[in-house]
Amino acid sequence: MSSFDIAKSKVAVLLGGRSAERDISLMSGQGVLTALQSMGVNATAFDPAQLALEQLKAEKYTHAFIALHGRHGEDGTVQGALELMGIPYTGSGVMASAIAMDKQMTKRLWRAEHLSTPASIWLPPHEQTPENIARLIQELGLPLIVKPPHEGSSIGVTKVTDQAQLAKAISLATSLDPDLLCEMFIEGEEVTCPVIGQGGNAKALPVVKIVAPQGAYDYQNKYFTDEVSYLCPSGLAPEEEKAIQALSVAAYQALGCRGWGRADIMIRASDRQPFLLEMNTSPGMTSHSLVPMSALAAGITYSQLCMQILASACLDTQKGVATP
């Protein structure tokens, strides 16, 4: 459980970092920092790309709000360091963070729990042979999605619509990640659903429907344009909204997530079946971000959301917790 006491706490908002999502993390972190300070929290920005993590302990920070995205922030590494230092932190623990950051491992767990996710082929470097590349289109069909399995924010993701695009898409993905993940394309509507809480207390927030230009909800459209429409309320039928929320909570629980997260889902147009794409364990908190939008639809302001997330900060184990 959280040991957060606003009067006794000194909070580091971890932002920036070294991942490909650094710029987004800086925007998320600044938003969180401003919100926490407006609520009377003694909060300071802390960029692990510029400061050694050991300084968190040396400077007697009592809590960490993780606003880092991608590798070295959302993948269990920073969480492990905070565990060792005994500094409670927001979001999922070491194992859940590491698994959720690895889209292939995430899929394996979801499939083991009989949760729907698109058919896919994973190729580690030694299996990226011409023969295996050739079977991608044969087995997954066209269009298909090519992505690096350890990146977020749609970085390195390509929708391949013909054979000629495949080599370039693979080159882009493998320039970011030695592994390669290719998925069957699901034609339909894209939605996302935030989840807050832990275990049996995990609760889904309202679903957000995403309508992007030509269906291209890519890095540029996610963060740097106003051409994407976000619908919250989603406009889905009430029973479908509830089904998406239930699937999101099940996906969150299957990975062992805690604190907060956001499930990205495609709803197939032909039969309205939802397919899980990924789980974000440190979602964006920028002006374009979807968790704050969903929370607001549930009556939770941005500042209240930040405080709620901070209050859930904890450690995987309470052994060796530093005394504030």
User: So which residues are the catalytic ones?
Assistant: 21, 153, 223, 262, 264, 278, 280, 284
Instruction: Please say whether the beta carbons of 263 and 248 come within 8 A.
Output: yes
CA–CA distance, 95 with 98 (Å, rounded to integer): 5
Q: What residues contact residue 147 under an 8 Å CB cut-off, 6+ apart?
A: 103, 156, 157, 158, 173, 181, 182, 183
Instruction: Please say whether the beta carbons of 71 and 150 come within 8 A.
Output: yes
Q: What is the DSSP string of 5-28?
A: -TTT--EEEE---SSTTHHHHHHH
CA–CA distance, 295 with 180 (Å, rounded to integer): 34
**Tokens 């400077």 map to which residue?**
59
Residues listed for the chain: 324
